[in-house]
Amino acid sequence: MKQKVILLTGASSGIGYDTAQALAQQGHRVYAAARRVERMEPLKQYGVIPVQMDVTDEASMQQAVERILSEEGRIDVLINNAGYGYFGAVENVPMDDARNQLEVNIFGLARLCQLVLPFMRKQGNGRIINTSSVAGKSVLLYGAWYHVSKYAVEALSDALRMEVKPFGIDVVIIEPGAIKTNWGIIAADHLIESSRGTAYAETAERMANNMRKIYTDGHISSPAVVRRAICRAVNARHPKARYRIGSWSDTIVWTHTLLPARWWDAMMRLGGKIKL
């Protein structure tokens, strides 16, 4: 297997951390990027190179890309994994928080694509792997801004795939379903915070409690399924355009597609009324 130079964002914890370790152990040259570099120190034992980067900060993104090109002379793979979920009713979420959700989940991702593409075109090959979600194919109650960001990742990735294919560059989307990480806990905390003292508080609290239960339950998929999908997308000679993996991923998408909108809406509202 040919060694590839990889830039991976969101690598300080969870799926990003595990993927950085796995790719390095496969023999790749992995630059793991995150705001908190100290959290990635243990990855050095596997050959991972921690890089400080904030995907909302232009200078830090430029510096990271320039460093890799200076040290390696190329970037073969960009894995846009950084992201989080801010849940809350549209009426309640402060616009600064909404903008930050999009800044992290879509604009930072897009800017990194812009920064690496000239060099990938010059070398005549490359691969961009964007972590999306089934949240880019369906909408849950109180998830508006998170879903906006993931629908945007889907659209941008589809457009980009068509644009850069003539230059030998692949664009891949990773679409996880429910994965047992801290994502659901963080999203639930945001939901409580944004709904406290509002007309949505009671339903939002039930939804948040349900989210915490689901994401601490042993019945949803392990982060390993996402790590394996990303590794397959990196190593495949001809990667798929999409890797949809994890608990309920196909079920959610197909149910959202096939059900009349009123039925889906009623099902989501019911979920906010039931205490699991």
Number of H helices, E strands in the chain: 10, 7
**DSSP assignment string, 59-89:** HHHHHHHHHHHHHHS---EEEE---------
Backbone phi and psi for residue 189, each to the nearest 5 degrees, phi listed first = -60, -40
H or E element at residue 33: strand 29-34
Residue with tokens 């075109």: 121
Beta bridge partners of 30: 6
Among 14, 58, 15, 10, residue whose Cα is nearest residue 36: 10
Count other Cβ atoms within 10 Å, centred on residue 270: 10
Beta bridge partners of 31: 7, 49
Count other Cβ atoms within 10 Å, centred on residue 38: 10
Catalytic residue among 146, 151, 215, 243: 146
For the question of residue 146 being annotated catalytic, the response is: yes
d(CA 241, CA 168): 14
Active site residues: 146
